[in-house]
Amino acid sequence: MKRISLFIALLITLNISFADDIDKQYSNLIEELRCMVCQNQNLAESEAPLAVDMKEKIKEMLRSGKNEDEIKMFLSDRYSSYILYEPPVNKQNIILWFGPFVFIILIGFFLLKRYLK
């Protein structure tokens, strides 16, 4: 009897942590994905029909065991990487990713030169 109740307790905790994990992944994802039909809202903030559908789809995919990257890939394959608030580095946006650092280094260099003078 003791063993069974222990087993049940284990199952319950496992189940809870599993659900927790999905919930966490879900809220991470909807924060990081853009609502495609709104002006600058993420999926979490939006109640637009398309956003609601996407959230349903994300829930469904998480429940069927897909991870965050797979879901992001699924959506950006269909709605372009514009849907990701953190787009992958590619040829078109390399200046945006690294430009600011180059700029800071350049400015630092000039300031140092002036200071040393």
Binding mask 31-70 for other proteins (x = CB under 8 A): -----xx-----------xx--xx--x-------------
Place of tokens 């009897």: 1
Q: Are 45 and 35 in contact (CB under 8 A)?
A: yes
Residue 21 lies near other proteins (rule: CB under 8 A): no
* Residue choice 24, 78, 85, 98 for contact with other proteins (CB under 8 A): 78
What is each CA distance from 64 to 6, 61, 75, 111, in whole angstroms?
28, 5, 16, 55
Contact between 79 and other proteins (CB under 8 A)? yes
CB 5, min distance to other proteins, A: 42
Which amino acid appears at position 48 of this protein? Answer: A
Output the CA torsion 17→20→21→25 (10° steps). 180
By CB under 8 A, is residue 93 in contact with other proteins? no
**3-class DSSP state for residue 63?**
helix
Residue 28 is a binding residue for other proteins (CB under 8 A)? no
Binding-site size for other proteins (CB under 8 A) equals 14
Chain positions contacting other proteins, by CB under 8 A: 36-37, 49-50, 53-54, 57, 76-82
